[in-house]
Structures are given as C-alpha cells and as structure tokens.
Amino acid sequence: MPDHSREGGLNAPIRHPLKQNEPKFWDENDLNQELARVYDICHTCRRCVSLCNAFPTLFDLIDESETMEVDGVDVADYKKVADQCYLCDLCYLSKCPYVPPHEWDVDFPHLMLRTKAINFKKGESKFRDNLITSTDMIGKTLSLPIINSVANTAKKNPKIGRAG
C-alpha cells in the first residue's frame, strides 16, 4: 500500500505552529532570508499568479529588477508583497506543490503573517491593517444610533440603495 503521508500524497498539507513566542520569529534578518528563499521558490514556479495580488506584485518586482532574480529586488520592497496578501490561504491549501511535507517547507501565508506582525510591531502597518484589527473600536462605532440612522436613510435613497 502506498505511503500517502509524504510529498505528493493525498493528505492535507501539514501546518506547522507559527512560533510567534520565539525570538527568531521577530528577527528581521531571519525574516528577510526566509522571504528571499520562499520568493525564489515562488519565482521559479509561478502556479499561484492568479490567486491574489501578492504574487503579481512579487513577480513584477523580480521581473523589473536588474538581475531578474530575487537577489535584484531591494529588501525594503519585500513588504510590498505582504501588503497585497489577505491571508486567504488559497496558495497554501490549493496551489503550492511545495508546502509541508515537501522538503522545501513553503508556507507563504505564515510568512506574510510574520511580515505583517513585524511591520505592525515597528509601527509600519497600513491604516487598513490597523483598522481591520481594531474590532472593538469598529463594533462600538458601528453600533452608535446615529450610524444606524444614517445607514438606513442611505439605504432608502434609490441611488445609494442600488449600490449595496
């Protein structure tokens, strides 16, 4: 009977713990080395190009660099890729042939999450990311009676009501 627990098997990918409590998780040099490694693997494969804007952003950065390889991309531009990732996991669950148990151990969503966490810790996160993580503030704001009134009034307006 064939062993389906190895790469190329029929089992679901293996998701390793994030390890955000370890100092290595927050080491920016280690992150950049891992980003370069994974970006190089993604660059040679490109199966994921249609999934989200993170991949076209990555491939454009590489293709427009002098070397047309990952080593030609400015490390400061690495976070542009993470800014386009919405952590949907489609690349991990459906497209990438290099997720664990493959020896290359590619977990693009976890890497993007790590990049976003480090940027957030450094105060370099985008307004959009700060807003989406402020669930308490959003809930309190949207439950204000005036917001309900404005939303209901807007919904009754035929021009606005059709937009929703």
Domain of residue 163, residue span: 134-164
* Euclidean distance between CA atoms 133 and 94, whole angstroms: 26
- Work out the average pLDDT over 107-131: 89
* Euclidean distance between CA atoms 80 and 138, whole angstroms: 26
Q: Are residues 118 and 141 in the same domain?
A: no
**What's residue 8's pLDDT?**
57
Alpha carbon separation from 40 to 20, 33, 85 (Å, rounded): 24, 11, 17
Instruction: Label residue 1 by pLDDT band (50, 70, 90).
Output: very low
Domain assignment present for residue 17? The answer is no
- Domain count for the chain: 2
Question: What is the CB neighbour count within 10 angstroms for residue 104?
Answer: 13
Tally: H helices and E strands in the chain: 9, 0
- Work out the average pLDDT over 46-59: 93
- What digits encode the pLDDT tens for the residues 6-40? 555 566 788 899 999 999 999 999 999 999 999 99
Q: Are residues 40 and 72 in the same domain?
A: yes
The more confident residue out of 1 and 97 is 97
The one-letter amino acid at 89: D
Tell me: pLDDT of 47 over 60.
yes
The one-letter amino acid at 149: S
User: 35-69 burial by CB neighbour count: b if 16+ within 10 A, else e?
Assistant: beebbebbbeeeebeebbebbbbbbebbeeeeeee
The more confident residue out of 36 and 102 is 36
The one-letter amino acid at 137: M
Question: What is the CB neighbour count within 10 angstroms for residue 11?
Answer: 9
Q: Are residues 28 and 49 in the same domain?
A: yes
Q: Are residues 87 and 161 in the same domain?
A: no
The one-letter amino acid at 76: A
